[in-house]
Every structure is written in structure tokens, then in C-alpha cells.
Chain A
């Protein structure tokens, strides 16, 4: 059982997805239970693998069908992927529990099909993270992309056009990735990541233009997928028009897994030397990342719709992650990897809190925040923690990732990135303080709130406690606690996970 944990964490959601499409007439409860069971199984397998990796200090290799690599496909779970896998399945489990009321509200009919796509997306993301084969990664990338199109298109009216644009961009991104893999295959004749890395060490390939074009195409494809600044146009509409559960699932995970894929390509398939010596444009990426961080946050500031604001925050966070990865030093890399975990939780927490507020008020603009501290104290408290984490206030994990990123930027002498990090942090502080001010001192007789609340608004100053349902509150509180916990145990996470995955030559 333990030997097969790497494949079980992918296969369990796949089979659950098949079962969920067939479960139809058995009703909501059965579908909900089955989804939670399968994702929990996935999480258990990921946890077991994480413990094994940390305990032995070695990567777990799993041969599919016992074919010997590089001929067969191989799953490789090292310190980096083990952490990301636990993050993915953990976030998915929390979202699955959270989905009880919102998913049924957003999908009055055929909830089981919605949950089937949910499970399939989890399987695709887990597979992308665990695989050790570049072509297998392409297939899993498309599996997760296809299921996310299906999930996003379950939103209302305008979601269709937004999803269509996402589909176009996503397909172009994946095609670029495939073309890049084709270039690498022509030059090396291999698709296994470890084998590719070995072959690419040869000096004649290091100087080859074809390999450089292959690398550029793959990175370009991944950038489209992760919505790096000039290529982000598809994301805000697609994510903000989706249903609440969909946004909670896709927003934290899709982009973070794409960042993980970028790290894999940069440092496992290629090497630090190759990326920063042979690739002429690698020095420009920092400027792109800085622009993403600053412009993403500023655009977020100008949004009235709460979820659209959050998606622009993701654009900015992608800037942090990309910058950290391309700083070419240990501190920057540590910051980027730590921020994948931290930002996954942060984004999940924000989307869950906002989802709960929208669920109770029925309003999706920032007016929904009026007086939230009186009406939904727990949700508002967790929102405060998540906001502190995005701004970067200790002891939340957002502070520590920014600390590493800043340290890396200073060491590398990239002052533009230092400035971008500080400016983006200040803009984020402005943004959240403005929201929290309304949340604390909001006028409850605001006409928007009177029509938005469930019961007719009587007296001028009646404050009603109207907290979110328990199935939403529990995952929310847990995520908030995890933000603090990850912050407090930063040293352990860095020492036992991230230090091990720092690529050679950095």
C-alpha cells in the first residue's frame, strides 16, 4: 500500500470522478461524501509520501507499470513536489468541505457532474506535480485545464465568454509547451526529466540554438498558464465570474502549480548555469515580475468587485513568485518555493472568506464588507489574518516569504524588485485597510445592505449576528490557523523541505 502511495494520490480522485458521474440519482449527500472521501484519500497518500521523503531524505521514484525509465513513465516525488502535493490536496479537501452549501447553490442541477470535474481537476494537478516526464506533464496539464474550463463555465451568464477566452489562451499556452517539448525531443531523443537533464549537460547541446528555443517556448507556454503580467488578461474575468466553490478551488491551485512547473523546467530539466548563463533574456524577467507585482496590486486597488480584486492580487503574487525564482540565489529560491505554499493558503483563505460574505449578504462589491465585524465576527477575523498575510505582517506566513524574497533581491542587487516588493506591500496595505475600515465602522443602514440581507431591515441600528454555516466556517478557520502555523514553523519548513530542494550550483 505504502509503495503505491505516489500513484494512489492521482488514481483515487480519477476513479472517484468516474464514480461521481454514475452516482447521479443517489443525491447530493452521497456525491458530497464521495468527493470528500476521495480527496481525503489523496491527502493521506500525499502526507505519507511527504513523511517518507523527509524521513529518508531521498526522492521517491515510482515506475508506472514497472517499465524502466527513461523508456517508461516515472513519478518522482522529491522535497519540492511533496510539499506542493500536500498543499494541493489539503486546499482541495478544505474546499470540498466548504462546498456543501455553495456548490449546491451554484449548481442546482447535476451537482454530481460538478463534483466529478472537481475530482478530475485535483487528479490533474496532483499528476502535474508528481510526474517525472515532460510529455506526461503536458497531458496532465490539459486534463486539469479541461476540467477547469468545465468548472468555470458552470458560473452564470457572462462566465461562458470569459471561459472561452481562457480556453483560447490556455490552449495556446499548452501548445507552446508541447512545441517546446518537441524541440527538446528532436535534440535529445528523451522525455524523462532526469534523463533530459543528463543529456542537456553535454556542451554541444548547451550552446545549441534549438535547445534555447525549446526552453523559451516551454517557459512562454507556462507563463501564459500562470498568468504572468502581460499575459494575464484572461484570468480576472474567468475567475471572478465563476461560482464560489470553483473560485476557491481554481484560484489558489492552478497558477501555483504552473509556477511549480516553471521551477521544474528551469532547475530539474535545465540547470541554474544554463538558465542564467545561456539564456540572454533571463535578466529581463525580474523587471517583468516587478511590473506584475506593482501593476497587479494597483489594479486590485481600483476594483469594486471583491473577487475581481482578489484575482488581481493573484497577478501580483505571481510577480513575487516569478521574481523569486529568477533571482538566481538561494534566498530568492527559498522565498519562491515557500511562497507557493503560503500563497496557496492565503488565496484560498481570502476566496473562502469573501465567498462566505457573498453567500450571506448576496452582494459581491466591496459594499458587502460594511459592518462585517458585527455580523460575521469569525469570518471577518480570518479575513483579517489573510489580509495581514498578503500585506506581510508577522507572524503570518506572508511576512516570511516576503522576507526571503527581499533578502534574495538585496543579495542579487536587483533594486527594482526590492522597490516593487515594498510598493506592492504598501498598496496591499492601503487596499486592505480601506476594506477593513468599512468592515469595522461600516454603516449598517446602508441601502445596499438593506436589500442584500436575507431578512427585511427593520430598525436603523439593529445588528444581527449572521455567521456563515458551520461547513464553511470550519475550513475557513482551519485555513486561517494554517496561515499562522506555517508562519510560526517557517524555520522547520525551510530546513526540512526547501533547503533540500535548492538546485545545485545556486
Chain B
């Protein structure tokens, strides 16, 4: 039991990402309302972003800006810096996510204008007519 507890608690960032991932997928697949589907999609994306950003964390590390002493020697060892790359990648991915969200909301508005509803079953019924 202790082992299991340790297994869960030591990787809590992964577990949080997995739980969010499935909440998002649940929203996309199960929900009938298209707005809720979009919310599910955003949660799904965010889960992945959190997962990748969390791997850049290092206990006791400092910001990745090189510091030199007066005689041009690096003051800190490379291992003392946090890894900036995951953050930079995720910054780009966040921008992509915002763009996708914008397009999705614009489409949703158009769907509402054409079909008069954002409930999926009502849209399908409207299209069958």
C-alpha cells in the first residue's frame, strides 16, 4: 500500500495531467453542447501543456541566465540552471492553442446563425431536413 501511495505521490504532476486529459476527452466525446465540447478540447490541450511544462522543473535550480565572474569564468555549474526549453516550447503551443480556440468560437457563432442552435443532436436533425 505504501509503495502504491509513493508511486502516486512521487509523480503527482503526471497524474494531474492524465486526469485532466481524460476530463477533456470525456467532454469532447460525451457532451452534446458544442460549447462544452470546445471547453473539453481546451482542457485536453492544457493537460498536455502542463505535462510538458512540469518536466522542466528542477528543485533548487535558478533562472537560466548565465552569470560570469570578473575573470569571465562561469559562476555556476550547468546543472544549477532550470531547463528553459519546455517553457519556450509551451509558450509557442499556448499561442497555437489560443488560435485554435479563436477559430473554434468563430465557427460556433456561424453554426448558431445557420442552424439556430449549438446542441449537436438538434443540428444533425436540422441538417436531415
Residues of A participating in the B interface, judged by any CB pair closer than 8 Å: 135, 138-139, 142, 146, 149-150, 153, 157-158, 160-161, 163-164, 167-168, 171-172, 175, 178-179, 182, 185-186, 191
A contact residues around B86 at 8 Å (CB) = 185
Cα of A191 to Cα of B86 in the assembled complex, Å: 11
Q: Which of B96, B110, B127: most chain A CB closer than 10 A?
A: B96
B45 at the interface (CB under 8 A from A): yes
- Contact A167 B45, CB 8 Å, known A172-B28, A185-B52: no
Quick check: B37 and A168 within 8 Å, CB to CB? yes
- With beta carbons under 8 angstroms apart, the residue of A142, A153, A160, A163 that contacts B100 is A142
* Majority secondary structure, B binding face: helix
Residues of B participating in the A interface, judged by any CB pair closer than 8 Å: 28, 34, 37, 41, 44-45, 48, 51-52, 55, 86, 89, 92-93, 96, 99-100, 103-104, 106-108, 110-111, 114-115, 123, 127
Determine how close the nearest CB of chain A comes to the CB of B56; give it in whole angstroms.
10
Cα of A149 to Cα of B106 in the assembled complex, Å: 11
B contact residues around A142 at 8 Å (CB) = 96, 99-100
Determine how close the nearest CB of chain B comes to the CB of A193; give it in whole angstroms.
16
- With beta carbons under 8 angstroms apart, the residue of A138, A139, A160, A186 that contacts B107 is A160
Cα of A364 to Cα of B115 in the assembled complex, Å: 23
Quick check: B89 and A161 within 8 Å, CB to CB? no
Q: Could you list 5 examples of A-B contacts with CB < 8 Å?
A: A135-B89, A142-B96, A157-B114, A161-B123, A172-B41
Tally inter-chain residue pairs, CB-CB below 8 A: 69
| A-B residue pairs, 8 tightest by C-beta | A182-B52, A160-B110, A142-B96, A160-B111, A164-B107, A179-B48, A157-B114, A149-B103
Quick check: A146 and B99 within 8 Å, CB to CB? yes
- With beta carbons under 8 angstroms apart, the residue of B93, B111, B123 that contacts A178 is B93
B contact residues around A158 at 8 Å (CB) = 114, 127
Quick check: A167 and B107 within 8 Å, CB to CB? yes
A contact residues around B100 at 8 Å (CB) = 142, 146, 167, 171
Quick check: B34 and A164 within 8 Å, CB to CB? yes
Quick check: A139 and B92 within 8 Å, CB to CB? yes
A contact residues around B28 at 8 Å (CB) = 168, 172
A contact residues around B34 at 8 Å (CB) = 164
Cα of A446 to Cα of B40 in the assembled complex, Å: 50
Cα of A167 to Cα of B92 in the assembled complex, Å: 19
Quick check: A175 and B45 within 8 Å, CB to CB? yes
Known pairs A168-B104, A179-B51 / 18 extra A-B pairs, C-beta < 8 Å:
A135-B92, A138-B93, A142-B99, A142-B100, A146-B96, A146-B99, A153-B106, A160-B107, A160-B114, A161-B111, A161-B115, A164-B34, A167-B107, A168-B41, A171-B44, A172-B41, A182-B55, A185-B86
